[in-house]
Each structure stands twice: as structure tokens, then as C-alpha cells.
Amino acid sequence: MPRLPKKALTFWRWRTTGTIKSKPLCWRSRAAAVCALWRLCPAVRPFGEKGIIWRPLLPFSRQDIWDYAQKHGLPNIEDESNSDTAYLRNRFRHRILPELSAQIPHFGRHLLNNVRALQEDLALLDEVVVQDCRWVCGAGYFDTARWLTFSPRRKTHILRHFLKENGIPVPNQNALADIARVLTEAKTGRWNVQGFELHHYAGRLFVFRPEKTDKLRFLKDRQISGNLREILAGQGFVLKRHPFGLPGHLLEQDGILRTVAASDRLAVGGIHKDVKKILQEKRVLPALRPFWPVVADKDNRPLALANYGTDFQISVSDGILPVHPDFPVLF
């Protein structure tokens, strides 16, 4: 096959953005074996601390690219760097591959067959990892106890898949191994991965995106006073029916929306309990407790702990409980 035009290898970007600016990584007539080896790698993978290697044409066959070039009349453009054997890819293409082909009959065919077999194995591995991760997260969260039942190698793959599913750029192998080690050996842990916060607590691995973390701190260093129904609605609370909720008339009065204070106590089941103790017993992440919303009356006495319950002394059957969608539900 004649050498492919350089611009032909940019058609994937053209189809998605209307521009042609990407640079191909394999495009010579001898590149079939080289490209086959490249296909063992993901289309996007980390490069160093902050870079990535992006090969957008991997999903397309060589024939697809050739047909596109012919259809659009793209001219052949030579790249001088392709003949420079200082590059490992060119040394392999121009020296090593021809020598192997001369010494081993049908070397190219054997190589392609092995690559196809490896690709099938990788596809099967991906299916297994997806199933493993679904089981680990079967209760709606990353369950460390379930994760610990797997072998070290499978644990690493599950963790990598979990991070990718949550949109987190996968860290390098050393950083990933450190996260796995802490999850295995310690009861708690905290990491900052590419701006995302990971928290290990009470047998769960939590993920917080930067924008969500900021949303949870809407009451940091301040309190909001006014008509309770209005200020709750203004801060995104949902007023849900609850067997032991607030009476409706209290929401029409003035009150205060603030975070938990050290002196806060609620009557729960006939006894007065420290609000911070309630959050601890409910296994609320320590990083969330300082920002947890409390609804208080105009004299700053707690009426309800958001997403949990109200003071038993004032609660009514089929009452109202303020629930904020960005915080975990505790009832």
C-alpha cells in the first residue's frame, strides 16, 4: 500500500471539530506492525506529571483512513522526521522490523495475530474489572470491605476504573499504589488527585469534585436569618414529609440557618444528644461535619438537623424535614 497522506490521519478531528490540527503517530507503509503494537495502549494515557498522549485515530482501521483520504483528495505530505532513526519508532520500523521479517518467516502475520489475541485478553479484562467494580459499589458507594476481598492486582484495576468512572484523571502507578496501600492498611485517608478530593472513612471511599465541595460550604463563616421557608428554599433545600418533622407553622416564622455549633443538642428518642455526636454515629465524613446545616429558631436554638431529623419535643407526625440534595441523607 502506498504511504498514507498525513492529512488523511487527521480526519477524526475534522469530523468532530471541523479543524485539522492533530499530528499522526503512525502512517508509513511499513507501519502495520508498529500500529498494531500502538493499539495495545489506550487512546489517551498520562505522559509525565501533567501531560497526556492522545491518539484519536486508534478506533479507525487503516482502510477507513485511506478511503477518507481518497474521497477528499488529500495530498501526500512527507515528514522528514519519519526517516530519522534517532527516534525509537523509526529505528524499529526501518532496522529492527526488516531484520526480524527477514529471519522469521511471516513475522508480520505472527505479530498481528499475537496483538489480536492480546486485544481480546484486554477486552476480557475490561469486562471483569467492570463487573468487579459494580460489586464493590453495589450498595451505592465504594465499599472498602468488599474491595479488600480481591487480589492486589485486581484491587488496583478496580480502583483505577472507579477513578475513571468518576471523571478523575488516573494518577501515575506510584500514586495509585499509595492510595491502594492506605485503603488496605488504614481506617482513614485523604488525597487530592488532580483537584478532586478522595476521602476514606468508615469503610467507604468518597469522591468530591471541586465544584461540589464549594457548594457544600455555602454556610461557611456565616448564618442566614429570615423567614425559614424562604431562606431554606433560597439555599436549595427540599421540604420533605417526615414521620417526625417540623410543624408547618414554624416554617412561617423567622429563624436562622447556620452550621453545627459545639453546644447544639437535639432531643432524640427521649434523650438529649450532642449534634456532633449524632453526625459521628451516622458516619458522616469528618470533613463535612463543620459545614452541616442546622435550622434554628430566632433565638438560635436548634429545631432540626438537615437531612436527619427534628427535635423530638417539637416534632409532629407527617411533619416537614429540610433536606439538602448535596448532603447525604441520614434517616
- The one-digit pLDDT tens for each residue of the chain (331 residues) are 334 444 444 333 333 333 333 334 333 334 555 555 555 556 666 666 667 777 787 778 878 888 888 899 887 777 788 888 888 888 988 898 899 889 999 888 888 899 899 989 988 999 999 999 999 999 889 999 999 999 999 999 999 999 999 988 888 888 899 999 999 999 999 998 888 889 999 999 999 887 777 788 889 889 999 999 999 999 999 999 999 999 999 999 999 999 999 999 999 988 999 999 999 999 999 989 999 999 999 999 999 999 999 999 999 999 999 999 989 888 8
> Is 283 found in the same domain as 232?
yes
> Is 315 found in the same domain as 228?
yes
Q: Is residue 329 part of a domain?
A: no
> Is 97 found in the same domain as 15?
yes
Q: How far apart are CA 145 and CA 226, in angstroms?
A: 45
Q: Is residue 213 part of a domain?
A: no
Q: Is residue 305 part of a domain?
A: yes
> Is 120 found in the same domain as 91?
no
Residues in the chain: 331
| Number of structural domains found in the chain | 3
CATH code of the domain in which 159 resides: 1.20.59
> Is 184 found in the same domain as 233?
no
Q: How far apart are CA 60 and CA 62, in angstroms?
A: 7
Q: How far apart are CA 22 and CA 69, in angstroms?
A: 15
Q: Partners of 258 in the beta sheet?
A: 294
Q: Edge-to-edge strand order for the sheet containing 293-297?
A: 224-227, 254-259, 293-297, 302-305, 309-310
- Among 62, 82, 103, the domain-final residue is 103
> Which residue range forms the structural domain that includes residue 182?
116-208
C-alpha dihedral sign at 143, 149, 155, 158: negative
3-class state of residue 48 by DSSP: coil
- Among 173, 208, 243, the domain-final residue is 208
Q: How far apart are CA 188 and CA 279, in angstroms?
A: 17
- Among 69, 103, 137, the domain-final residue is 103
Q: Rounded to 5 degrees, what angle do the CA atoms 78, 81, 84 make?
A: 125
**Whether the predicted model's global pTM rises above the 0.95 cut:** no
Q: Which residues, other chains included, contact 304 with Cβ-Cβ below 8 Å and sequence gap of 6+? A: 245, 246, 266, 294, 295, 310, 311, 321, 322
Q: How far apart are CA 302 and CA 257, in angstroms?
A: 10
> Is 83 found in the same domain as 48?
yes
> Is 53 found in the same domain as 19?
yes
Q: Is residue 53 part of a domain?
A: yes
> Is 15 found in the same domain as 92?
yes
> Is 123 found in the same domain as 99?
no
